[in-house]
Structure 1
Amino acid sequence: MQFSITYSETIMIKAIKLPLTTLAIAVMSLSSTSALAEKTANIEADWDSIATKQIPEWLIDAKFGVYTHWGIYSVPAHGGPDYVRQMYSPKNRKGVYEYHTKKYGSLEEFGYTDFIPQFTAPKFNASEWVGLMNEAGAKFGGIALVHHDGFLLWDSKYSRWNSKNMGPKKDIYGEIAAEVAKYPDMKLAATFHHGRTFNYAYGELSDKGADASKINKNWEISDPELGDFFWKKGRDSEEQFNSDWYGKITEVVDTYKPDFIWFDGLSTSMKGGHPTEDNVTKAISYYYNESAARDQDVVVANKLAANFNFPDHVGLKSYENGRDMPEHQPGYWLADRAIGYPWSYVNNKTYRDGPDYQVDSIIDFASRGGIMFLSLTPKGDGSIADEEIAIMKGIGRWMKVNGEAIYGTRRYSVYGEGPTKVTKFVKIKGKEKVKWDHRKLGAKDVRFTQKDNTLYAIALGWPEDNKLTIKTLNSDYAISSEAKIENISLIGSDEKIKWHRDSKGLHLVYPEKKEGEFAHAFKIEVAGDLIVTEPDAEHIKKS
C-alpha cells in the first residue's frame, strides 16, 4: 500500500495534536508504510532493474531441491517429454514415430490429445510426492507446471488444456503447493517450460523450414480448432500466445505464491522470439514486486541453454546437469538434473546412478557454491518408480545424519582436493564443451564447506586403511585467527578422532567401526575465527 503525499501530510498534521505516544505510533506507521512502498515498487520491467534482486539467503542455505517432469508424455512413456514434437517427425532419432504408429495406429487415427483421456493419474498422491521430497532432505520442492507441449498442471483460466479441466481433473500444482506448505522448512518451486510451445509440435518439419503443404492435413496439429494447444506459426495469433504466456505466469504467482521460479526455453525471447522479451521482463518484475509486497523473498533461475535465458547478470545462474558450466566460478549457482534419463519416465527405464552418486554431486556442488535441483520422473499413472523412491530415501538417510555439513553452509576458500577430476572437455557438434561426471569420486577426494567457526571436510568414501591426509590443511595453512584446531569429530560417530597436523597435511584416523554410507563429514572446530577468503580459481587448480 502506498500513501500519497497529501494523505501523509494530513496524517502528520492530525498527529501533532495527539499525545506523544500516539504521535510516535503515527510516525512509526508512516515509516513502515514507506518501507513497504519501497518494497513493492523496486523492480522495473528491464534487465538492469531485475538484476538488482539478490539471491535469497534461504536458497543458498537450502542447497538441495526436488521437482518433477510429468505430464501427458508420461502416458506413452517413450522417448521423453518431447514426445509430441517427435511423434510428428518420422526421422526423429528416438524412434517415437515408429513406436507411436505401431502401438496406437496412424497419426490420423490417434493423435497426441488422445492420450489426455488416458492421463487420469489414479495413483497421483501429492502427499506422497512431497513427503518423499522432504524425506530426501529437499528444502524446496515443486513440479514442472507445464512442459513444451503446453499442457498445464494447474487450474487455469488462460487455457482449457489444463489438469483441472481434463485428464486427472485435479489442480495438481495446487495440491502440491498445499503439501509443501505443511513443512515449515520447505519452500515452493515452480518451473515453466512453455516458452517453447509456439510452433513446437511441428518438430523436424518445422526445423527444416517445411511449409504447411508438407504437413498431413488429417493430423490433429493441422486442425485450426486446436490452435490454442498446437500453436502454429502463420496460423495462430502470436499476440494471443504472448499474452497468454504472461497471464499464466502471473496467475501462478498470484494463486500459489511460489518462492522459486525456473524457466526453460526463453533464450529465443532475447532474439525476437516467443514469448517476447517485453512479456518476460514484465512477468519477472511482476513476480518480484508482488512477492516483496507480501514480504516473500523469491528468486528466478537463469538457465544456460545455447546462451543464458536472460542477460548473464540476471537471477541465479542455472546449468542443466552442469552442461557448459565452468569448473570454477564465483558466487552461487544452481545445477538441475533428472534422477534418471531421459527427463521423464519411459517404459523399462533403467537407473544408472544410485543415491551415492547423487550425494557426491550435492557435496561437490555445495563446495563450489552450487545448489542441486533434482527432478523425479513419475509414471503416467502418478506413481513413482520403486528405484526412484530408493534413491531418494538413500539421499535422505545421508542428509539426515550429515545435513549440518551442507545446509546453511557457505563455500570455503578452497573447494577441496583429491585425485579425481569431475570435469572434462568434450566436442559436441564441433564445439568444445565442459562435461561433469561425479561417478569416480572416492575416499581420497575431499570437499570443504564452512559455517560460523566450523570447517567441514567431507571425504567421499571410506579408505581401506582407515586413514586420511588432507594436504590443504597442513600446519602452514592459516586455518584460523589463532592458527589452532580445537577439536575434530566425525559426524554420526561417538568415537574420538585421532589426528595430528604437520607440514604435509592434516592426518586423520577414522573410527574402528565404520559409520554411515557414501561420504563422511569431519567437523573441524577452530580456536579464534575461521579464516575464509574469496575462492581463488588459480589456487584451486593447483591444490
Structure 2
Amino acid sequence: MKHLSLLLSFIFLTSACSEKPHKEKYEANWESLKQYTVPEWWKDMKFGIYFHWGPYSVPAYKEWYSHWMYEDGNKIREYHEKTYGNLKDFGYKDFIPMFTAEKFNADEWAKLFKDAGAQFAGPVAEHSDGFAMWDSELTEWNSAKMGPKKDIVKLMADAVRKQGMKYIITYHRHWLYAWYPTWDKSTDAGDPKYAGLYGPYVPKGSFKMGEKVPTAYPDDKFNQEWLDRLNELMDKYEPDIIWFDNKMNIIGEKYRMLFLANFYNNAEKWGKEVVCTYKAKDMAEGSAVLDLERSRMSEMKPFPWLTDDSIDWDSWCYIDAARYKTTNRLIDFLVDVVSKNGAVLLNINPKANGEIPSETKERLLQMGQWLKLNGEAIYGTRTWNVYGEGPQKIVEGHLSEFKNSEAVAQDIRFTQKNGQLYAIALDWPEDGKLTIKTLKKGNPYINNFESVSMLGCNDNLEFNQSDEGLVVTFPTEKPCDYAFVLKIN
C-alpha cells in the first residue's frame, strides 16, 4: 500500500506539473482585442447617468476651474485671487477640505437615477484634477482619506447594483498631464511635495488646451501610474462599463492595450461581459464601443455607439450660473440617438455638499415619467430600416450639440421590437394629424396596417394610407408632455 500511495502521488505531481498555464483570451495587441464582441445586454442599454463631482465642485464658478485658476490673465484666476487669495497660499489642494459631501447619500442618488429611467449609472472615478474618488492604496489624495472621507466609488457601486442597474465608472486621468503648471514655482502646483496631486514636473508649454498633438508626451512612470489606478479600480469594484474621456492617445499605446486586455480578461474571470468606451482614434476601431461628446450621429449606424452629454449647456460640474437644458430637449435627444443605434450617458451636477440641484431632480424625474409610459419604444429596441424623417438637420462633430435646433412634430424617429414598429413624433402636430411620409402607399417597408395606437392612450387611432404618407389622427388629449409614440401593427 505504501508503494502504491507513493506511485499515485508521483503520477498526480507529474500530471499537475505537465498542465499548461491558463491562456488568457485577449492579448495586448489590437489584432487580438478586435475579437471583442459587444454584449447583447449593451445593445439593450439606451440610457445611463453619471456625475462630475469632486473638489472642483466647491468654487461653483466655471468649468475647468482647476486648470484656468493657474493661468496668467485668465478671468478665473482673477476671480480666484480676489475670492481666495494668491495661488501660493490657496491652491486647488485647499478646496479638498471644503469638499465635505455631508448631504451625500448613495442610496438616494441611485434611486433617483433608477426613477429617472437609467439602466446604468456611476461616478467619475478620477477627473483631470488628479483626485481619486475611491479608497486607493496608490495615492493619499483620495476621497476616503481626505475631503468627504468616503469611498465614493464603492458606495455608488453598492447602491447602483442594489437598484438593478449596471455599474459604470469614468476615467479622465490622462488629462492630468500638464493640467497644472508644475513648472511654476510661484504657485503651490510647482511645489514637489504636492506632486501626488498635481502630477509630475513638465516644462512650460508642454501641453496646451485644444491642441491636437502635444509638444511632449508623458513618460513611462506617468503611463504606468495611469494603468495601475485602472487595475486597482477593476480589482476593487469589477465595473460593468469603463468610460474614457478623450485625449487618451497621449498615453503610450502599449499601456492602452494592456489596460483593455486586462479588463476583458478580468471579465472572463468574473464570469460576465463588459463594455469599454473610447473616443475616436484613442483605441482601435472594433476593440471597444465608440463614444461621442456633446454630439450625435446624423445618420443611423450599423454598430452600437454612445454619446455623453450634460444636463447643463455650459458645464459638466455644478456651477451657480447653470443653464439647464429643458426636459423636452433631453428626451428628443435620447429618442434621436436611440433611433440611430446609439445610447445616451447623461451627466448631472451635484453640489459640493452632496445635494443634487432641484432643477436637475425635476428634469430627471420628468424623464423617468416619460420613460415609464413610453419605455417600450426605447429599452431593448433595435433600429428599423430607416432612422426617421423630418426637417431637423443634425450637425455632427465634437461638442456640436449646441448647433442643433429644436425638433418639430414632423421630425419622426423609428424603433422596433418584437415585431412592433414605433414611430415617435418629437412634438404634437398643431392640427392633430401627423403624416408619416416614409409609410406612404407603395413604400418598400410596410403596407399592411392592422392598427395604430399611441402609448398612454387606450383606443386605436384613425389612420389612412395615401400617396402622401400614413396619415394618423391624434387623440384629443395628450398622454404626456413630450415626444409621442405611435405603435404600429
**Partners of 2:299 and 2:387 within 8 A in 1:** no
Mark the CA change 1:385 to 1:465 in structure 2 (over 3 Å): closer, same or farther.
Answer: same
Q: 1:85 aligns with which of 54, 59, 67?
A: 67
Counterparts of 1:387 and 1:53 in 2: how far apart (Å)? 40
Aligned to 1:317: 290
Corresponding residue to 2:277 among 274, 278, 301: 301
Matches within 5 A, 1:209-224: 212=183, 215=184, 217-224=185-192
CA contact (8 A) 2:50 2:348 kept: yes
- 3-state DSSP of counterpart to 2:450: strand
CA deviation after TM superposition for structure 1 residue 279, in Å: 1.6
Given that 1:266 and 1:310 are in contact with CA atoms closer than 8 Å, whether structure 2 keeps it comes out as: no
Would you say the 8 A contact 2:434–2:473 is kept in 1?
A: yes
Q: Return the alpha-carbon distance in structure 2 between the equivalents of residues 135 and 89 of structure 1.
A: 41
SS at match of 1:200: coil
Given candidates 123, 132, 141, the residue that maps to 1:143 is 123
1:288-437 map, 5 Å: 288-304=264-280, 308-322=281-295, 325=297, 327-340=299-312, 341-351=314-324, 353-423=325-395, 437=403
Q: Give the residue type in structure 1 aligned to 2:473.
A: V
Aligned position for 2:230? 249
1:168 aligns with 2:148: yes
Counterpart of 2:395, as a letter, is T
**Residue 463 of structure 1 pairs with residue 429 of structure 2:** yes
Q: Which amino acid aligns with 2:465?
A: R
Instruction: Name the TM-score, length of structure 1 as normaliser.
Output: 0.81
Deviations 1:349-390 (A, max 9, x none): 232x21110000000001111111100111111111111111
1:500-532 deviation per Cα after TM superposition (whole angstroms, max 9, x unaligned): 21232111111122211111101112xxxxxxx
| Cα separation, partners in 2 of 1:333 and 1:7, compared to 1, 3 Å | farther
Shift in alpha-carbon separation, 1:436–1:48, aligned structure 2, 3 A: farther
Aligned partner of 2:456 in structure 1 is 492
Structure 1 residues 462 and 9: alpha-carbon distance in aligned structure 2, compared to 1, 3 A threshold: farther
Match of 1:177 among 157, 178, 184: 157
Deviates more, 1:187-196 or 1:121-130: 121-130
- Please report how far the alpha carbon of residue 164 of structure 1 lies from its aligned counterpart in structure 2 after TM superposition: 0.2
Taking structure 1 as reference, are residues 178 and 434 closer, same or farther at Cα in structure 2, changes over 3 Å only?
closer
1:190-247 per-residue CA deviation (whole Å, 9 max, x = no partner) reads 1000012122212xxx8xxxxx4xx2x2421111111122113359x94432222211
* Structure 2 Cα separation of the partners of residues 495 and 328 of structure 1: 32
- State the AA in 2 paired with 1:294: W
The whole-number CA distance in structure 1 between the counterparts of 2:157 and 2:442 is 51
- In 2, the alpha carbon distance for the partners of 1:476 and 1:511 equals 27
SS of alignment partner, residue 392 of structure 1: helix
Name 1:49's counterpart in structure 2.
32
**Could you say if the C-alpha distance between residues 218 and 233 of structure 1 is closer, same or farther in structure 2, counting changes exceeding 3 Å?**
closer
CA distance in 1, matches of 2:385, 2:438: 11
Q: 1:230 matched to which residue of 2?
A: 198
Counterpart for residue 57 of structure 2: 74
Deviations 1:301-327 (A, max 9, x none): 1113xxx3223333111110117x554
Offset at 1:9?
A: 11
Residues 408-450 of structure 1, C-alpha deviations (whole Å, 9 max, x = no match) = 001111010112223278xx9xxxx965655420111110001
SS class of match (2:256)? helix
Amino acid across the alignment from 1:221 = A
| Counterpart for residue 262 of structure 1 | 243
CA distance in 2, matches of 1:311, 1:377: 31
Rate the CA distance shift 1:328–1:156 in 2: closer, same or farther, 3 A. same
Question: Kindly, what percent of the aligned residue pairs are identical?
Answer: 38
Matched, 1:158 2:134: no
- Which residue of structure 2 lines up, in the alignment, with residue 524 of structure 1? 488
**Aligned match of 2:88:** 108
Q: CA deviation at 1:48?
A: 2.0
Cα distance in 2 for residues equivalent to 1:7 and 1:328: 58
- TM-score between the two structures when normalised by the length of structure 2: 0.89
Provide the residue aligned with 2:418 in structure 1: 452
Distance 1:63 1:361 in 2: 12
Contact preservation (8 Å) 2:110, 2:163: no
Q: Which runs of 5+ in 1 are unaligned?
A: 1-5, 12-33, 207-211, 270-274, 526-543
SS in 2 for 1:366: helix
- Give 2:226's aligned amino acid: W
Aligned-partner residue type, residue 194 of structure 1: R
SS in 1 for 2:271: coil
Match of 1:125 in 2: 105
Q: How does 1:466-485 map to 2 (within 5 A)?
A: 466-480=432-446, 483-485=447-449
Residue in structure 2 matching 1:280, options 233, 248, 256: 256
- Unaligned stretches of 5+ residues in structure 2: 1-10, 204-217
Query: What SS does the corresponding residue of 1:423 show, helix, strand or coil?
Result: coil
Structure 1 residues 508 and 458: CA distance shift in structure 2, 3 A: same
Q: Structure 1 residue 181: deviation in Å?
A: 1.0
Report the equivalent of 1:196. 175
* Aligned positions, number: 463
1:52-67 matched pairs, under 5 angstroms: 52-67=35-50
8 Å contact from structure 1 (residues 198, 233) kept in 2 = no
Distance in 1 of aligned mates of 2:176 and 2:360: 29
When residues 420 and 302 of structure 1 are mapped into structure 2, their CA distance, relative to the original with a 3 A threshold, is: same
Question: What residue in structure 1 maps to residue 5 of structure 2?
Answer: none
CA distance in 2, matches of 1:83, 1:258: 29
| 8 Å CA contact 1:262, 1:303 repeated in 2 | no
How far residue 455 of structure 1 moved from its aligned partner, in angstroms, is 0.6
Confirm or deny: 8 A CA contact 1:302 1:314 kept in the other structure: no
Conserved 8 A contact 2:52-2:347: yes
